[in-house]
Amino acid sequence: MRNHFYSTFVGLTNAFDTLNGEVLWKIIQKFGCPDSFTHMVRHLHDDIMVCVTDNGATSKAFTVTNGVKQGCVLAPTLFSFVFTDMLMDAYLDERPGIRIVYPIDGQHLNQRRMHSQSHISTATIHELLLAYDCSLIATAEGDMQRSMDFFTDAFGNFGLTINTEKNVVMHEPPPNTAYHAP
């Protein structure tokens, strides 16, 4: 690593509970899922009735109109569709990230092979996703801030809320460089 590395860990508030169903169905179809899949998943989420129990008292049943089912094995995948669409919208014109070089011949530990252009490929990593959390990555402090600004604007457009208490910024300076807090 020869560059500064900035990573902003971003968490969401009630991510699975706040997804708008109509938006979710459109996004699933946008990514090319068959109509039969979309209808099946939609039927799993339509007309869900729930009650709330608090200190032994149970509320009247009411319909849940937003969100995906907690504990459902499909929930993280469904949310990934929304997350991916949101990120594509956020970074439509600009994609801050870090460039990585990697071997394409399986020789990951052979440093001499990394200097041969015929055995390597490059990619730019923009973010890392895990369920409903995200890590935005950049090589400059300004890019990190710009990335977070894009991200915040897009989240508002999708009706999602960032949990500011869960956000953390990490700075990893290049070797033999003095550390400066971001």
CA 174, CA 4: separation in Å to the nearest integer? 5
Residue 113: what pLDDT?
Answer: 55
Q: What is the pLDDT at residue 107?
A: 61
Query: In this predicted model, what pLDDT tens digit does every residue of 92-146 receive, in sequence order?
Result: 776 666 677 777 766 655 566 555 566 677 777 767 776 677 888 888 888 888 8
Q: Which CATH class is domain 5-16+68-172?
A: alpha beta
Cα distance between residue 180 and residue 167, in whole Å: 19
Q: Are 14 and 25 in contact (CB under 8 A)?
A: no
Other Cβ atoms less than 10 A from the Cβ of 36: the count is 8
Q: What is the predicted pLDDT for the residue at 33?
A: 92
Structure tokens at 20: 């708008």
Q: Does the reported pTM lie above 0.85?
A: no
What value does the mean pLDDT take over residues 153-162? 78
The pLDDT confidence band at residue 147, using thresholds 50, 70 and 90, is confident
- Residues paired with residue 133 on neighbouring β-strands, in sequence order: 130
Mean pLDDT of 170-181: 78
In sequence order, what DSSP letters do the residues of 8-73 get, joined into one string? EEE-BSSHHHH-BHHHHHHHHHHTT--HHHHHHHHHHHTTEEE--EETTEEPPPEEE-BS--TT-T
Residue 162's pLDDT band, with cuts at 50, 70 and 90, is confident
Distance CA 54, CA 180 (A): 49
User: Strand pairing partners for 127?
Assistant: 136
CB 8 within 8 A of CB 53: no
Q: Taking residues 154-171, report their average pLDDT.
A: 82
97 Cβ contact partners less than 8 Å away, ≥ 6 residues apart: 124, 125, 126, 127, 137, 138
Average pLDDT score over residue span 76-95: 80
Dump pLDDT digits (tens) for 20-68. 888 888 999 999 999 999 999 999 888 888 899 999 999 999 988 888 8
